[in-house]
Amino acid sequence: MKIETAEFGLTKKEMLQLLAANYLKRKWWILLLLAAVLPWAWQMMGRPSLELALVAVAVFLVWVPAELLRHVFLPRNKRLYLKRRHEFDDEWIFTRACDDSIGKAKWSSVTAVSRTGNHFLIYVSKKQFLVVPRSAFRTDGDLRDFEEFLARRRMG
């Protein structure tokens, strides 16, 4: 079976939203830890410790968005925004970009597939993923075929 997407491109805004959601999904425990430390610092150690905890929260709230923005706007990542299309078959995922480059990955190397509201994220490592917008499928039938394909592979 072969499933193809239409050509699509990602915007920097879309990529930033995907990276932020992905980061929070992996690092939610940091926010929980910070929320637990603040009241404890106030009660147990007094005002200086609370100020230190607030500084830690501020650093986290500035550092994370700065890191995400760095990834989105780095010149070396400009290829992320090239128009591309994907082809999926039983063994391979092919990505053809508008600059005539071709990437391929074996399905056996895929570690996970997750769905967001408008995208599929196909993980080829813990931190690297291919983005496939739902809108990139040419027909509702192609989208349904892809979802069934993922279900058969126990990846969705």
DSSP readout, 134-152? GGGBSSHHHHHHHHHHHHH
Q: Is the Cβ–Cβ distance between 49 and 41 less than 8 Å?
A: yes
Residue 31's H or E segment, with its range, is helix 12-40
pTM assigned to the model:
0.76
Q: Is the Cβ–Cβ distance between 122 and 132 less than 8 Å?
A: yes
Strands 92-97 and 129-133: unpaired
pLDDT by residue for the chain (156 residues), tens only, comes to 799 999 999 999 999 998 888 887 877 777 777 777 767 666 666 666 667 767 777 887 888 888 889 888 988 888 889 999 999 999 999 999 999 999 999 999 999 999 888 999 999 988 789 999 999 999 999 999 999 999 998 876
